[in-house]
Structure 1
Amino acid sequence: MPTSRYDALIIGSGQAGNPLATALSKAGRKVAVIEKYLLGGSCINYGCSPTKALLASAERIHHITTAPEYGIKTKGLEIDFKAVVGRKDRIIEEMRAGVEKNLTREATNITVLHGHATFTGARTLRVDLSDGSAQQLTAPLIFINTGTRPSIPSIEGLAESGFLTTNDLLDQKEIPEHLIILGGGYIGLEFSQMFRRFGSRVTIIETSEQLLEREDDDVCAAMQEQLESDGVEFVLGAEVRRVSRNADGIYTLTAHTSTGERRLRGSHLLVATGREPNTDDLGLEAAGIKIDEKGYILVNERLQTNVRGVYALGDVHPGPQFTHISYDDYRVVRDSILHSRRRSAKARPLPYVVFTQPQLGRIGLSEKQAQEEKVDYRVAVMPVQYVGRARETGHTTGLMKVLVDQRNRLLGAAIFCEQGGEIMSMIQLAMAGGLTCDDLQNTVFAHPTWAEALNNLFAKLEKPS
């Protein structure tokens, strides 16, 4: 088999691989992008974009059902779920087409290969193409951007009974009658509120005693209270030990709880218990690339593996699995390779948003983390109902919570309210710019805006009890 030579090989077309291919191409490098599934990676195809498109439809439903509270009378509600899914599909198809256009028509020096890549050595790949043929490629630089897939727990009867992953649920054409969700992380929470508003009965089963294990207790309690008010049911501290499905397609889950055994029944079962890396079929052993016990590729602060010239980008290496972190991985390697500027993938902010309504925006230290790290801090917590904009718009659910150090520098924030992600981003910008809580408390914000809440929030700073 002849060998094709490139300057760089990129396995996977996700949020790090695509912009990197373009940047290398503009720098005159000859690049090959190998994609096994769909161009655009998980974010575009079965992650952020399709989920948020469906959440937008669910939010419109909520606007209609709550319209009488605002003095607006409505005459019933009819959901065309196929049209809801169709809107999502059109958005994703347009985004995917945009990626293809960028890689194949707008950029030069980029070859896109649809197929599966495996290492045959430290600098060589075999690509089994979707048309049945195969190629051998070599390059001094290889970037692994293969992402993750749903992790399926080992539960008796689960595999035999069948289940839905988040990928599957995004393509459902009918609204589930009763959706049971295994997992109380942010993915499970977003889907729970979404399908509850579509009209499903929804039950979340979580092994921990609270939702969102990385968050403070008061934030978790506020999130649970909101979702329960939407009608989502919770079974916390529960270990599912057996799953079965009868001839009518009804699932029965047997779970062990602190109060004894419980049986839960539903029409659909979503497994949202985490993700695992797509590394087991890459032939990493042929290249000598090291992985951890979970299969994630080990990297240093510059995202280099232990094999010279081989990098791992995005969710495939250990760390937070967010699109914006994957994109920053691209910037780290771009600056290192093309601009001789050293940036660290370890020392960077880690913002994220849970896109329920209201949103939960998080940046920096939580109170729990500050205590674990023995950081001397003050904390301010303010219920959203005290914010003028909240009362005027009717979005009074939630709280704002910030931590500052003894020099009044911002340490972190959890903003659980309408537009919580945007307000969190304001605080992140303030942190990046070195502003203190005094600066924000005394800033003249337009009235009445959500931002104006920062004038009052920091007035509530006090030492933790």
Structure 2
Amino acid sequence: MKFDAIIIGSGQAGTPLAASLAKNGQKVAIIEKAKFGGTCVNTGCTPTKSYIASARRAFVSKNSSDHGVEISGDIKINLKQIKKRKEAIIEESRNGIEKMLEDNEHITVYRGKAKFKDPHHIEVGSETLSAEKIFLNTGARPRIPSVFEKIPYYTNEGMLELEEIPEHLLIVGGGYIGLEFAQMFRRFGSKVSIIDHGSRLMKQEDQDISEAIREILEKEGINIYFNAAVSKAEATAKTAELTLKIEGSEEKITGTHVLVATGRIPNTDNLGLEMAGVKLNEKGYVKVNEQLQTNVPHIWALGDCNGEGAFTHTSFDDFQIVNDHLFGDSKLKLSHRYTCYAAFTDPPLARVGMNEQIIKEKGIKAKIASIPMSKVSRAKEMGETQGMMKIYIEASTGNILGASFLGTGADEYIHSIIDAMYAGAPYTTIRDAVHIHPTVSELIPTMLQSPKDLEL
């Protein structure tokens, strides 16, 4: 079968690209070996945020007496109902994607595993497809260290299939996936222990942000082991025992469930990319240029498999870059993108651009505007004063270099900073703006009134 374009993967870049190619009159094949919608819809954003919403309800129910709301009796967590609600939300999204693809007369859907025969031909089951343009949107999967291979363990995917609350959940990894699940299941009633090989959580964040996140989690009763490497993993029918090496000594920890959240690896190893001549980097990600083209010009790589972002929003932006390259004026480029993301702990962490440690590493002369959430009236009124807001400004231009917000609603009001950065507006634009009272974001102009020099 010959097509104008073949897309491997129906994730957050592949699906809109298929629709755009079809809209422009091209004959498209899209190949999906698992479930439509990719990680975000099935095992990532959609299901985890539905669980986080349930965990938030449980936490508020148990912690409202200070607000004059007293609830008597036990708060019961029905994980089967939480799972059922999650699956209904997923099914709606997944069915919508599948229907859109299958109902489009210009798109042919293939279910199965794709493998290159040569740069223009791909095998799917017993069929061979060819196209002048090929797009990789194969995503990534959890990385599992070999020490865990002989015991039962869970990834984020398996945790979302549980129907009983773990008695003691051991989480290996202190990144945003591990922290979200830690707080979530602690609020569901599990005892939770985090094991991290580093000296602090979220090591890519500033020291004070990492410390504040630690305090938030420990306040909720989560145990954290730092500088801890898992040297041995054993299991019985009901428990798992991990041997930790902590600064030269050994310590054993026993739990009922083990969640491995030690990072992700790209799904590029079984595609036969060597037959197409596509180059990978040392970590297995597909090498791409500014328009997401690989070293083979008619093959592009979008989403998590290219290593240029690990989020739904960066995957969708990859689609926009490629779509502009194909049908627009080619103004969009990978280098124009500011790194931004959120960790959906409660309160959430939101980040855009550079933080303090990057600015210092680069030796950039900068200013900082900051405020603790305990000084924000709306946060005090809500009784949610944990965290802080920090904005970094280039001293010579007044342009915003980045921001780190940890606090109630941070994942929303970070966008005022993101938008200003894309607009190329100096910090004074936000400083002189009038924000609505009473809100958290109204303190952003206030804190920008007197930024201080950042010490290098």
Letter in 2 for 1:372: E
Matched, 1:102 2:93: no
Letter in 2 for 1:277: P
Q: Deviations over 1:69-128 (max 9, x none)?
A: 1101102311111001110010001110110111112x3300111111100010000101
Matched, 1:327 2:316: yes
SS in 1 for 2:384: coil
Q: Tell me which residue corresponds to 1:60.
A: 57
Q: Tell me which residue corresponds to 2:195.
A: 205
Q: Tell me which residue corresponds to 2:128.
A: 136
Letter in 1 for 2:342: V
SS in 2 for 1:7: strand
CA distance in 2, matches of 1:424, 1:347: 18
Q: Tell me which residue corresponds to 1:455.
A: 445
Normalising by structure 2, report the TM-score: 0.97
CA distance in 2, matches of 1:330, 1:434: 23
CA distance change for structure 1 residues 460 and 180 in 2, over 3 Å: closer, same or farther?
A: farther
Matched, 1:353 2:345: no
Aligned partners of 2:303 and 2:309 also within 8 Å: no
CA distance in 1, matches of 2:215, 2:120: 53
Deviation at 1:154, TM superposition (A): 2.3
Matched, 1:391 2:380: yes
Matched, 1:270 2:259: yes
Q: Tell me which residue corresponds to 2:81.
A: 83
SS in 1 for 2:146: coil
Q: Tell me which residue corresponds to 1:438.
A: 428
SS in 2 for 1:346: helix
Q: Tell me which residue corresponds to 1:118.
A: 115
SS in 1 for 2:452: coil
Q: Superposed, which structure 2 residues align to 1:139-150 within 5 Å? A: 139-150=131-142
Runs of at least 5 residues in structure 2 that lack an aligned partner in the other structure: none
Deviation at 1:340, TM superposition (A): 4.0
Deviation at 1:460, TM superposition (A): 4.7
Deviation at 1:147, TM superposition (A): 0.5
Q: Deviations over 1:314-365 (max 9, x none)?
A: 0001222111000011011101112242421133111100001101010011
Q: Tell me which residue corresponds to 1:187.
A: 177
Q: Tell me which residue corresponds to 1:231.
A: 221
CA distance in 2, matches of 1:427, 1:337: 30
Range that drifts further, 451-460 or 209-218: 451-460
Aligned partners of 1:382 and 1:460 also within 8 Å: no
CA distance change for structure 1 residues 8 and 368 in 2, over 3 Å: closer, same or farther?
A: same
Deviation at 1:66, TM superposition (A): 1.2
Matched, 1:164 2:154: yes
Matched, 1:44 2:41: yes
SS in 2 for 1:60: helix
SS in 1 for 2:453: coil
CA distance in 2, matches of 1:10, 1:408: 43
Q: Tell me which residue corresponds to 2:393.
A: 404
Q: Spell out structure 1 runs of 4+ moving beyond 3 A.
A: none
Q: Deviations over 1:246-280 (max 9, x none)?
A: 24x21111011126211111000000000111111
**Aligned-residue CA RMSD (Å):** 1.1
Matched, 1:175 2:165: yes
Q: Tell me which residue corresponds to 1:152.
A: 144
Q: Deviations over 1:274-321 (max 9, x none)?
A: 011111111111111111222111111111111120111100012221
SS in 2 for 1:136: strand
Normalising by structure 1, report the TM-score: 0.96
Q: Tell me which residue corresponds to 1:26.
A: 23
Aligned partners of 1:26 and 1:108 also within 8 Å: no
Letter in 1 for 2:146: S
Q: Deviations over 1:355-392 (max 9, x none)?
A: 01101010011010001111110112211010010111
Runs of at least 5 residues in structure 1 that lack an aligned partner in the other structure: 129-133
Deviation at 1:434, TM superposition (A): 2.9
SS in 1 for 2:82: helix
Letter in 2 for 1:80: N
Deviation at 1:435, TM superposition (A): 2.9
Letter in 2 for 1:393: M
Aligned partners of 2:365 and 2:454 also within 8 Å: no
Q: Deviations over 1:33-62 (max 9, x none)?
A: 000000000100001110001000001111
Aligned partners of 2:9 and 2:31 also within 8 Å: yes
CA distance in 1, matches of 2:186, 2:450: 35
Range that drifts further, 187-196 or 295-304: 295-304
Equivalent pairs, count: 453
Deviation at 1:396, TM superposition (A): 0.6
Q: Superposed, which structure 2 residues align to 1:265-344 within 5 Å? A: 265-344=254-333
CA distance in 2, matches of 1:45, 1:97: 11
CA distance in 2, matches of 1:68, 1:113: 55
CA distance in 2, matches of 1:290, 1:461: 45
Q: Tell me which residue corresponds to 1:131.
A: none
Aligned partners of 2:309 and 2:315 also within 8 Å: no
CA distance change for structure 1 residues 352 and 423 in 2, over 3 Å: closer, same or farther?
A: same
CA distance in 1, matches of 2:366, 2:85: 47
CA distance in 1, matches of 2:329, 2:392: 36
CA distance in 1, matches of 2:140, 2:361: 30
Range that drifts further, 403-412 or 47-56: 403-412
Aligned partners of 1:381 and 1:460 also within 8 Å: no
Matched, 1:73 2:70: yes
CA distance in 1, matches of 2:430, 2:292: 36
SS in 2 for 1:55: helix
Letter in 2 for 1:135: E
Letter in 2 for 1:148: A
Range that drifts further, 58-67 or 11-20: 58-67
CA distance change for structure 1 residues 318 and 385 in 2, over 3 Å: closer, same or farther?
A: same
